[in-house]
Amino acid sequence: MDEQRWLTFDLFDGHVGEPFEVDVPGGGPVVLRLDAAREGAQPGGRGPDGAVRLQFSLHFRGPREPVLPQATYGVRHDALGHLDLFLVPVARDDDGTTYEAAFA
């Protein structure tokens, strides 16, 4: 993305079920589906306008292989454009891998 954008729960909530394409260094893109966007009750950080956002997390579901190591990735979405997200693999089963991005 060209400029820093303050990411909020509301930005992602309407995109559950949609694909996000992850740029994998040294490999092709990996498509993850946004499975859940959950907003907590605890206040998080202050945005550029001084407003406090509530903490929230995103859960993405991807293929079983490759498992992406925890890292910051460039992620593209048709409506949201390019985002940099820190993704952590949190679960894996026969059908795929689940990743979390958490925001305070």
Only one residue has tokens 């992850």, namely: 22
The count of other CB atoms within 10 Å of the CB of residue 45 is 10
Q: Note down the domain range covering 71.
A: 9-103
Query: Model pTM?
Result: 0.91
Q: Which amino acid is at 91?
A: A
Residue 2 lies in a domain: no
Residues paired with residue 43 on neighbouring β-strands, in sequence order: 54
Residue 94 lies in a domain: yes
Q: List the structure tokens of 93.
A: 């089963």
Q: Give the helix ranges, DSSP H, for the chain.
A: 9-13
- Domain count for the chain: 1
Residue 91 lies in a domain: yes
- How confident is the model over 32-75, as pLDDT tens digits? 999 999 999 999 988 888 889 999 999 999 999 999 999 999 99
CA 8 from centroid of its chain's CA atoms: 11
> How far is 62 from 99, CA to CA, in rounded Å?
8
- State the average pLDDT for the chain: 93
Residue 3 lies in a domain: no
Residue 41 lies in a domain: yes
